[in-house]
């Protein structure tokens, strides 16, 4: 299991919301965390309220009662530690494959962020231990299945809470699976004995859904710029026109994402000798196919959708999700744990990934059909009939796109009642988030194959040369070991190289080094 290198300095977890960049730094790049003095003081104030209620005569949900459908059961003071421990143990009921390290770290960080607001009522030592696990690179093993996206991501969070009491399995900073108690001891950390409300506070949040949304949106913002690059390479390689991307035409339909995408395409194709070669009066083509001509409209709508989802995620990063929640000098029940706001945009983002990938596959397919490729050899093969060129690379794209369309079926419209009908409507947001991660991976692969295919086509247009920006991508591929046109060779490694260059942001970086930042 690979472990990302640690990033310095650590992220300060405050009473103020975390940014996308801070979440990514901790989750994906292994940055440590530290609770700020303001956060520590907020935690102390919140805990004082819980302690006062715990000492009082009146039952308080989550403090001196059972949970969910068992909320009417009053629990005496001497059994409340057992109550919290039993809650964590019983709710750590996940099953299936292990969730990725970056997802678990995001989940832990976002739970810590809510604890830092003081609205959950945990003790300072409990919040500090969660920070300590993140700082030490200790990651609880969390199974994939178990959350309904309501009452928080209960099972995934419970598996994390289990590590705080020294139980369950974790992975240490080297990625080695170890018993939690052993890993904590090796890191100089001691388990906590949970007090009133603490078990509930550790598991009652939308943190898994939100963490996966932030990571996915970060990736999608990069991939949508990559999609503009791929489209530009395809327009150029298929002898399309750049005139349809002019700003005066885009202003007739003033969607901000469309304007940004079109501006990128104009910049990417600027001063292209290939485009200039067919711009004169001898060119009789009236207009390009939709997959070329309408790229800004589709990519732009995708951008606007991603930014809507980002606005929802930003508001959720500012939220304190728990039930009950400490407000002033009292504790109140609420429904803020419901995952609907996140579930909807997680599903929406999966639709975006599927549609952008679908258009990318159509552009790729046009390169391979002699009837539509404007002079390119069939399948871009060196010796068509003996060689198959990129024929099966498009099959791979098509298979992924078909899967992405199935994954775009929304999870958030489903609901299965639970907890003896007390929790009778749930969001399925966790499922939507797991689906979106697969969708983002699929889009990455589809765009990589388009870039790979378009680069081969641009080479085949020699002696004409591509624009500076698109040429930089072709050069990047060649320097990474992907050869130009020639007899058939083992293609899968070349595809994986292209996938890595797209995923890492190297494709975007190569372009921006040449022409400046894309929008």
Backbone CA torsion sign across 231, 232, 233, 239: positive
Instruction: Give, as one character, the DSSP assignment of residue 245.
Output: G
DSSP for 11-55, please give it: EEE-SSPPPHHHHHHHHTT---EEE-HHHHHHHHHHHHHHHHHHH
Q: Token digits for 156?
A: 């995934």
Instruction: Give, as one character, the DSSP assignment of residue 10.
Output: P
Options 61, 290, 395, 490, the catalytic residue: 61
Q: Rounded to 5 degrees, what angle do the CA atoms 222, 224, 228 make?
A: 115
DSSP for 407-474, please give it: HTS-STT----BTTTTB-----HHHHHHHHHHHHHHHHHHHHHHHHHHHHHHHHTTTS---HHHHHHH
For residues 115 and 322, give the distance between their C-alpha atoms in angstroms, rounded to a whole number. Answer: 9
- Of 182, 50, 42, nearest to 116 by C-alpha is 42
Q: Token digits for 294?
A: 């309408």
For residues 166 and 168, give the distance between their C-alpha atoms in angstroms, rounded to a whole number. Answer: 7
The label of the residue with tokens 């046009």 reads 366
Contact 36, 10 (CB under 8 A): no
Annotated active-site residue 61? The verdict is yes
Contact 202, 422 (CB under 8 A): no
For residues 390 and 47, give the distance between their C-alpha atoms in angstroms, rounded to a whole number. Answer: 63
DSSP for 65-131, please give it: B--GGGTT-B--GGGHHHHHHHHHHHH---EEEEPPHHHHHHHHHHHHHHHTTT-S---HHHHHHHH
For residues 393 and 211, give the distance between their C-alpha atoms in angstroms, rounded to a whole number. Answer: 33
Q: Token digits for 142?
A: 């969390």
Catalytic residues: 61
């Amino acid at each position: 299991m690979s472990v990302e290198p640690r990033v310095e300095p650590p992220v300060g977890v405050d009473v103020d919301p975390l940014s996308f960049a801070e979440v990514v730094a901790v989750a994906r790049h292994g940055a440590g965390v530290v609770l700020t003095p303001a956060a520590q003081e907020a935690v102390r104030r919140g805990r004082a309220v819980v302690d006062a209620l715990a000492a009082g005569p009146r039952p308080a949900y989550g403090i001196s009662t059972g949970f969910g459908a068992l909320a009417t059961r009053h629990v005496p003071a001497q059994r409340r530690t057992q109550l919290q421990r039993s809650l964590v143990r019983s709710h750590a009921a996940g099953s299936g494959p292990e969730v990725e390290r970056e997802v678990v770290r995001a989940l832990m960080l976002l739970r810590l962020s809510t604890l830092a607001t003081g609205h959950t009522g945990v003790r300072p030592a409990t919040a500090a231990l969660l920070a300590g696990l993140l700082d030490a690179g200790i990651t609880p093993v969390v199974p994939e299945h178990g959350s309904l996206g309501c009452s928080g991501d209960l099972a995934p969070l419970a598996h994390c809470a289990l590590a705080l009491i020294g139980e369950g399995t974790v992975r240490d900073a080297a990625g080695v699976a170890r018993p939690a108690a052993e890993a904590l001891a090796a890191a100089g950390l001691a388990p906590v004995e949970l007090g009133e409300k603490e078990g509930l506070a550790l598991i009652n949040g939308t943190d898994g859904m939100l963490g996966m949304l932030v990571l996915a949106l970060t990736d999608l913002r990069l991939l949508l710029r990559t999609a503009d690059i791929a489209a530009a390479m395809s327009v150029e390689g298929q002898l399309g026109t750049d005139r349809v991307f002019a700003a005066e035409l885009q202003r007739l339909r003033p969607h901000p994402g469309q304007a940004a995408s079109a501006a990128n395409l104009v910049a990417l194709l600027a001063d292209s000798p290939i485009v200039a070669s067919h711009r004169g009066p001898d060119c009789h083509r009236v207009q390009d196919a939709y997959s070329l001509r309408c790229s800004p409209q589709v990519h732009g709508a995708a951008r606007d959708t991603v930014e809507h989802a980002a606005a929802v995620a930003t508001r959720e990063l500012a939220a304190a999700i728990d039930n009950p929640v400490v407000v002033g000098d009292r504790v109140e029940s609420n429904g803020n744990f419901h995952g609907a706001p996140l579930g909807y945009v997680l599903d929406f983002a999966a639709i975006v990934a599927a549609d952008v990938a679908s258009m990318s596959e159509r552009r790729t397919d046009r390169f391979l059909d002699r009837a539509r490729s404007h002079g390119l050899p069939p399948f871009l093969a060196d010796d068509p009939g003996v060689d198959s060129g990129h024929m099966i690379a498009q099959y791979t794209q098509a298979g992924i796109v078909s899967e992405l369309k199935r994954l775009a079926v929304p999870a958030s419209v489903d609901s299965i009642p639970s907890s003896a009908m007390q929790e009778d409507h749930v969001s399925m947001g966790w499922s939507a988030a797991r689906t979106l991660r697969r969708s983002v991976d699929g889009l990455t692969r589809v765009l990589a194959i388009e870039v790979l295919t378009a680069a081969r086509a641009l080479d085949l247009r020699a002696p004409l040369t591509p624009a500076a920006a698109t040429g930089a991508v072709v050069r990047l591929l060649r320097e990474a070991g992907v050869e130009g046109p020639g007899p058939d060779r083992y293609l899968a490694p070349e595809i994986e190289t292209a996938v890595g260059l797209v995923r890492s942001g190297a494709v975007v970086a190569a372009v921006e080094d040449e022409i400046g930042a894309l929008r």
